[in-house]
Amino acid sequence: MKRLVAILICLMTVTTFAFAEGSTFTLTAPSGAPAIAAARLAENDPDHYRFIAADTIAAEFSKNEADFIIAPINAGAKLYKAGKSSYILGAVITRGNLVFASQREGFTMNDINGAKITLFGENTINASVALFVLEQKGIVPDDVEYLASAAETQTLLMTDAESIVMTAEPAVTAAKIKNEKITSISLTEELNSLTGDNGYAQAGLFIRAETLEKDPEGVREYLALIRNSADAVYSDPEGVVKAAVALEILPNEKVAAAAIPNCGIQYTAAADAKELVEFTANIDLAQFGGTVPADEFYYAEK
């Protein structure tokens, strides 16, 4: 009986991803952690998926070309509120992949008290979340400096043994494999210890208004496929690892296998994620255009 159930599950999985091969929808995502959620779909249909540099993803909203975009939720919300984007939120797909990291021996959060730290993305939601966690834990750094990207703080982490930086998965796992002295502390776990919630609304899957208007049933079916692809991180980790490497989202299977469980991949339909999004927005409303997103920003299946 168990063997029969296993066979049926395998057949269902194959059928699900085979359906994706026939989809004509296009999706653009930043290469890295958020793209992992779509990896199982993209490996079957790479021509309909684009993985681009994270710092260029916001421009995709104004282009209004891709049917779906994976992007920081605050960026999508801010552009939508300003009337510069027609994309609404279909789902939250990542709940935080940020870390504090250092080569200091026995590094803990307490080492940040009175120390210099380097964050990336000044005046972004990533920096705001980091500062919120520190404030709530009563940790006061002596100095906070900023670099433009996680790649730059990662370089500092590798070259300065005394530095304390904010960086992100999966890059920090690759760094730890190269240098065993590096210790990382998940900001999501630190946030959860304060709030009891499951992370924060970091990256989301956005739906183009025109696509939704033309093919609402297709959108509904595609969201189910994305959910299955994201859930495969836990139900089929080996398959996701191979897909992420084949698509060059991650550099190799060793890094992928170690990093993916820490990337915060978790699909939550927009209708069920409103409270989480509003919690995140209230950390720094400026990053969401000054207010929490309006109800029409959230996709609701009809």
Q: Hey, where are the domains in the chain?
A: 2-95+200-297, 98-195
Cα–Cα distances in Å, from 299 out to 78, 79, 205, 275, 295? 16, 16, 10, 14, 9
Q: What would the pLDDT profile of 12-35 be if each residue is shown by its tens digit? A: 444 344 434 446 899 999 999 999
DSSP state of 285: G
- Asked if pLDDT for residue 152 goes beyond 80, the answer is yes
**Each residue's pLDDT tens digit, 22-71:** 468 999 999 999 999 999 999 989 999 999 998 899 999 999 999 999 99
pTM: 0.91
pLDDT (average), residues 113-128:
95
* 211: Cα separation from own chain's centroid: 23
Give the E-state strand segments of the chain in sequence order.
27-30, 49-52, 68-72, 88-94, 98-102, 116-120, 143-147, 164-168, 183-186, 203-207, 265-269
pLDDT at position 224, please? 97
Choosing among 3.40.109.10, 3.30.70.141, 2.40.160.10, 3.40.190.10, the CATH entry for 2-95+200-297 is 3.40.190.10
pLDDT in tens, 200-238: 999 999 999 999 999 999 999 999 999 999 999 999 999
- Name the CATH code of domain 98-195 (choices 3.40.190.10, 3.40.30.10, 3.30.470.10, 1.20.1260.10): 3.40.190.10
